[in-house]
Amino acid sequence: MAPNALSRGLVALSLALALSKPVSALSSWYTEPGGVPTGSVAGDKVRGVNLGGWFIMENWMMPNYFDVPDLQDDYITDEWTFCEVLGKEECLTRLEKHWDSYITEDDFKRFANYSLNTVRIPMGYWSWTDPEEFEPYIQGQLPYLERALNWSSVWGLDVMMDLHGLPGGQNGQDNQGYKGPVEFQNNATNMERAMQALANMTEFVTQDRFNGVVKAIELTNEPYILEYSPNGMNFDVLADFYVQGYNAVRGAEHIQESSNEVMVVIHDAFQPVLNWKYFWSQEHLGMNWTNYALDTHIYDAFGGSSSKSWQEHLDTICAQSAAISEAQTYFPVIVGEWALGVNTYCVDYKSCWGLSMNDVIYNFTSSYEASLFMRQFWEVQSNVYELGAGWIFWSVHHELAGPWSWTQSAAQNWIPEDPTEKLYPFYADASSYCLDTSNPIDGDQNMPYFPSFARNYTDIDISNQKPKNFAALSNNITSTSNTSTSTNMTSSVSSTVSGAAAAATNSKASGASHTLLSLTPAALFGFVAMSLVALL
């Protein structure tokens, strides 16, 4: 490379680094066997957001999406029904548009702007192993996932992959892809396909080309066991799935040079978090595992929660402190789902047809006190959950319900731009009134401003955000360009472990990488440097 070109490139890189707003990532996603669980140091926490509703549709999150002539007469309970009604060809066409637009690079810039450091990406088994003939699911998700992994790397966010839906279903809810009975345990084929999906997913996302951005893999989401629901599976079935799933991940992962194995995350199956000491103390279960964590989901929006006072909502979260703190001394505890919602929305999605965010948000912006409670609810939850290894908000978007939407909650200023910004003293040992809302740290005169209207989250200024990972920038430019212009990016996942990697390699998203890689080193460096200069 010519000296002048090199100098100009280095100046561009240095200037971009100097002006870049830092994102404080979890320092390590690895716990030394027998060591202090990662995430135990104050401030060194997972702070993230779920990309829910993207690769698995949930009608309550986007009800107006189904208010179209060819779907109005049917009740679209889940993604299975969506594809069953439309047929695979039309389903693919619509889902490709959804995958391309629902999550964009600007979302990742907003995450960086708010100093988030993690995204959790839920996906169904059908993305990773070929659907059976009777299953209406379609594939084609991998090029969009690839794009998101590159965005995560560029903008400085770690990724937790989550196999959100299992063959046969693990909880009977729409978030598993098919709303109905829990049938995962009914035949051995379901277990075999789940292991295949975990292995394929692991091999794909741990490839060198993703720069080690995937730090954790969650074996599945919210499994129901008999102790929680009469429709659940026997605990022994779930435990066997966890053991086999752990082995599938370990057998398929590619460990990056000078890195540790990926963290394997299991959900608590709605059991007390301290119960899981047993699982990791038994030789036939998890005693010999390395680098693992527990995911727990905490919502105060179901049952009789909607009738609680604001203080009762705060106290409900305070009451979680002791268990999370103690469990964190044994293993990392990540609150992988939570929200600001204190009631449910659009459970019957058709009842919300025609509504807008403005209609729903009015209840919160009609009084300053209501918005201030939202901020307090954010603060008590982030404080309590950081007694563990951290938290991941559900979810990035909601078409109508601001408290369930990270982007809308940020736009309303219920969520601070700096997650370490606190308005009130917090007393971790208090099971009630742990957040002292009577004595603001800086006094009442410094309370925040809340918009009195439904602010468009795209108005959040992200113009000063700069890339955090320049090694990934060229990959991002390539994948973004090709995914947005491709009109047919289906990919069939092979039933072999190597199939997942082959699927994305053969997709149109990989086409332009040959063009980029054909550049000389000097030209490639200059291309990246000029892009950085343009960003500055």
Q: Which residues contact 527 (CB under 8 A, 6 or more apart)?
A: 474, 516, 519
Summarize the chain as % helix, strand, coil (round to 5): 45, 10, 45
Residue type, 153: S
Q: How many angstroms separate the CA atoms of 62 and 490, rounded?
A: 24
Q: How many angstroms separate the CA atoms of 462 and 438, rounded?
A: 34
- Least Cα distance to 66 among 88, 81, 48 occurs for 81
Q: Which residues contact 272 (CB under 8 A, 6 or more apart)?
A: 323
Q: How many CB atoms lie within 10 A of CB 128?
A: 28
Residue type, 196: Q
Q: How many angstroms separate the CA atoms of 164 and 380, rounded?
A: 27
Which contacts of 236-243 are long-range, i.e. CB under 8 A and separated by 24 or more positions?
A: 237/184, 237/185, 238/269, 239/279, 239/285, 240/191, 241/166, 241/184, 241/191, 241/194, 242/266, 242/279, 242/285, 242/286, 243/284, 243/285, 243/286
Fill in the DSSP letter of residue 270.
T
Q: Which residues contact 67 (CB under 8 A, 6 or more apart)?
A: 350, 353, 354
Most distant CA atoms of the chain, gap in Å: 71
In this structure, the strands spanning 333-337 and 390-393 are parallel
Per the structure block, which two tokens stand in for 122? 């839920």
Given a contact cutoff of 8 angstroms between Cβ atoms, the answer to whether 478 and 518 are in contact is no
| Chain centre to alpha carbon of residue 216 | 11
Active site residues: 222, 337
Given a contact cutoff of 8 angstroms between Cβ atoms, the answer to whether 143 and 489 are in contact is yes
Residue type, 248: A
